[in-house]
Amino acid sequence: MTSTTFGARFREALETRGPLCVGIDPHPGLLGDWGLDDTVEGLEKFALTAVEAVAGEVSLLKPQSAFYERFGSRGIAVLERVISDARAAGALVLLDVKRGDIGSTSQAYADAYLDQSSPLAVDAITASPYLGFGSVSPMIETALRNDAGVFVLALTSNKEAPEVQHALVEGGRSVAGTVLDHLAALNQGAEPLGSIGAVVGATIGETGESFDFNGPILVPGVGAQGGTVDDVRRIFGAAARNVTPSSSRGLLAAGPSVSAFRDACRRANDEFRVLAGA
């Protein structure tokens, strides 16, 4: 791993490879669509084929840990291979684990994924701050010590989210807005970009929030889920240049043909390249 910050590597990757983040999510239905059994062997074939197809081209790959964990230790072994092969091909690996806990448990999660001596070490993880933003401090501190990153859930598109994320705290600020304020403080003064980012859905609609917190923004929900380039521009404004739009099943559905999957990723990447000038 190079000794540059995650924020710097993220910025360079988006400028050289384009903004797209490709999710490698071995959903049982997709395994079947690819003609594979819902077994660890099918998982391995699916995931490593996807990595081989696009890890040398796109900026980020985002495996969803749960789809590997469900196969136990053999599934985790496949995840380790996905991580190492993707990083060897030059892609940044963002592990979608959405961990959220406190104290020593939060630190243990940080050690598992962000300490670069770990077999599961990645460039960045997703994390949930909804036990209080301070609960993710061990992950953030470990990430910064290891030139890694954390994408904190801020405004997600799931229908259950507003009851927590839109709730108001003392002073009238929303919970999500408070999360964004914390990110702005953590990234203040970082060049060319901070390493602590946010997860914000592409289909959240109008929020009234500013996303100018000098950090990377993971935006799931593009493509098959309905999010468009225009949505990203409208929601994020000038901060759209810090966005990595993420798609998984919509792109993976183009498989099992390696060329068809690669072409689908190239088209999506090209579609969102216009965000660089936002």
Whether the Cβ atoms of residue 223 and residue 272 lie closer than 8 Å to each other: no
Output the CA angle 35-20-177, nearest 5 degrees: 115
- Written as one string, the DSSP assignment of 80-131 is HHHHHHHHHTT-EEEEEEEE---HHHHHHHHHHHTSTTSTT--SEEEE--TT
Rounded to whole angstroms, the Cα distance separating 235 from 63 reads: 25
- Considering the candidates 45, 62, 98, 159, report the single residue annotated as catalytic: 98
Q: Is residue 103 exposed (0-12), middle (13-18) or buried (19+ Cβ within 10 Å)?
A: exposed
Whether the Cβ atoms of residue 63 and residue 79 lie closer than 8 Å to each other: yes
Whether the Cβ atoms of residue 183 and residue 153 lie closer than 8 Å to each other: no
Distance (Å) of CA 271 to CA 18, 78, 212: 10, 31, 23
Active site residue 98: yes
Catalytic annotation, residues: 98
